[in-house]
């Protein structure tokens, strides 16, 4: 399966919001691909943190060995537009990660309650 870390093609048609947005990107990762997936995430992080609108990112690893989502990336961006532009730029310089069994489910979220 071909994946591009942090990629969200569905967002291309989304409206641009003026508030901060949060990317939540859970990953299904077979144990055999853990190291390669994390290394690819680090390359993506290193590139994305240089882009306008980047706020922060953290990669979380499940404490339960049988969880569906072994890794979850949570990133903050100043706007949907900044995120989309950064992903487009990243796709030009970092090749897609192709590993059998690795799947991700990225989506942007906004805070609606505190």
pLDDT at 79: 96
Read off the pLDDT band of 3 (50, 70, 90).
Answer: low
Q: Could you tell me the fold of the domain covering 2-109?
A: Alpha-Beta Plaits (3.30.70)
Domain map (residue ranges) of the chain = 2-109
Residues with Cβ within 8 Å of 77's Cβ and at least 6 positions away in sequence, in order, are 20, 21, 22, 23, 53, 54, 55, 83, 86, 108
Residues with Cβ within 8 Å of 73's Cβ and at least 6 positions away in sequence, in order, are 5, 6, 23, 24, 25, 26, 27, 41, 57, 58, 59, 60, 106
Indicate if the pLDDT at residue 89 is higher than 70.
Answer: yes
What is this structure's pTM? 0.81
């Amino acid at each position: 399966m071909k994946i591009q870390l942090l990629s969200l093609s569905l967002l291309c048609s989304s409206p641009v919001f003026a508030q901060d947005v949060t990317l939540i990107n859970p990953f299904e990762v077979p144990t055999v691909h853990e190291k390669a997936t994390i290394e690819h995430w680090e390359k993506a992080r290193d590139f994305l943190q240089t882009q306008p609108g980047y706020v922060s990112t953290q990669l979380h690893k499940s404490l339960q060995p049988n969880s569906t989502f072994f890794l979850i990336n949570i990133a903050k961006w100043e706007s949907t537009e900044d995120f989309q532009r950064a992903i487009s730029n990243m796709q030009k310089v970092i090749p897609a990660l192709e590993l059998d069994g690795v799947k991700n489910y990225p989506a942007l979220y906004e805070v609606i309650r505190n």
